[in-house]
Every structure is written in structure tokens, then in C-alpha cells.
A and B are shown apart, each in its own frame.
Chain A
Amino acid sequence: AQSVTQLGSHVSVSEGALVLLRCNYSSSVSVYLFWYVQYPNQGLQLLLKYLSGSTLVKGINGFEAEFKKSETSFHLTKPSAHMSDAAEYFCAVSEGGSQGNLIFGKGTKLSVKP
């Protein structure tokens, strides 16, 4: 069965510092991978996705992620954190050929210090 592990329920960085949010998944088949961001009392907004092709995926707000099949990872990065990046981030996976149902990680809350 699929599962998604996000290392670190809380991550704190200083404004301007590198943001690294980790995501590992377990699946024996091909997968589609997603990162969503959730601001307080709001729905989930898609940051980026990997379906196929280039393993380095660029998303909105300067975020990017790299799919590493050998490491079953899809870590999210941003070179320079901004105060507006403070939110909760969810990694999700969907197995290729499935009904497309998403399995979410438990989320990582990102804090940005001035």
C-alpha cells in the first residue's frame, strides 16, 4: 500500500534562507507526485506536480522539487524564504493507473522568522 512520509512536522527558517521540506513515499508502481500548500482556514493550493518527463519540477512562488526514484523522494525546495511562505505544506502521491486518489503526508508547518 502507498504511504507518504514527511520528515518534520514543523520547520522554521529565517527570511532569505533556504527552504527544504522532505517527502518520501513508498510504492511498488509508478507514481504521480504533488505538493500542496495550505494557508490557515483555506483549502489546498497546488504548488507543483510530477507526472512524467523531467524529474526537476518548477512550481509557483519560486518552489521546485526533484523526483528521485532511486531514493523514493520528492523534496520541496526554495532558495530564499519569504514571510508569505509561512503555511502548511502537504506532499501527496497517486499511483499510476489507479483511480487517481491522493494519499497525503501528515504535513509540514513552515515558519519563517524575520
Chain B
Amino acid sequence: DAMVIQNPRYQVTQFGKPVTLSCSQTLNHNVMYWYQQKSSQAPKLLFHYYDKDFNNEADTPDNFQSRRPNTSFCFLDIRSPGLGDAAMYLCATSARLAGSLDTQYFGPGTRLTVL
């Protein structure tokens, strides 16, 4: 089945220690998104890639970076995690063609704990 995969499902890191979360997809979608979801809150968009074009949300902290080496993979890098960065991180994909919109499909998420 075509799907969105996130690894690892659970990640523990130390305060200030860089961490990378991984997302891969077999849907061949041209758009990949990263969301942050804190406990009992709605998902909040951090940034997205439209093909190789990176689109950062205005209020996303500089501490968060992303890489998309190819269509299938996208990474979320947190350079110096703080306690406030503990959250579920959700990856999503969609097929966006010129002038049209398709549905976003989500992965299972990575729950990040910062000690």
C-alpha cells in the first residue's frame, strides 16, 4: 500500500542535542509538509516543500530546519532542542498540480521527548 512513513516513532533527545526526524513516502507526491502538534492542541504547520521549493511559515523558529534530498524523503532537523520542543511531529504529503489542490495524507508521527 502507498503510504507515508515516519522514523522513529519515538525519539528521546537531550536538551540542546541536535536531532533529526525522518519522513518517507511511496505516494510520489510533490508536496511534503512538517507539522508540530503539542499535547491537546491542533497541528501547526512548520514548513513545506513544493518539489524542491522550500516554504517556511513566518512564525517557525530558526531552530527548525528541513531537507528534502529527493521526492521520497524529507527530514526535520532541530538544531538545539529545548524543553518546549517536546511534541508530536507529523509529516504529510499531497499531490499539488498547478491550480488544483489534493488531500494531505499524514504519517503516524514521531513523538519527541526532550530531557
B109 contact from A41, A94, A106, Cβ within 8 A: A41
**Pick from B31, B45, B55, B103: contact of A46, CB under 8 Å:** B103
CB of A35 to closest CB in B, whole Å: 11
Count contacts on A: residues with CB < 8 A to the other chain.
Answer: 22
Contact surface of A with B, Cβ cutoff 8 Å: 32, 34, 36, 41-46, 49, 51, 90, 94, 96, 99-102, 104-107
Jot down 24 A-B pairs with beta carbons below 8 A, ordered by A: A34-B103, A36-B106, A42-B109, A43-B6, A43-B90, A43-B106, A43-B107, A43-B108, A44-B106, A45-B106, A46-B103, A49-B103, A96-B101, A99-B50, A100-B96, A100-B101, A100-B102, A101-B45, A102-B45, A102-B104, A105-B42, A106-B41, A107-B40, A107-B42
A-contacting residues of B (Cβ < 8 Å)? 4, 6, 31, 40-45, 48, 50, 55, 88, 90, 92, 94, 96, 101-109, 111
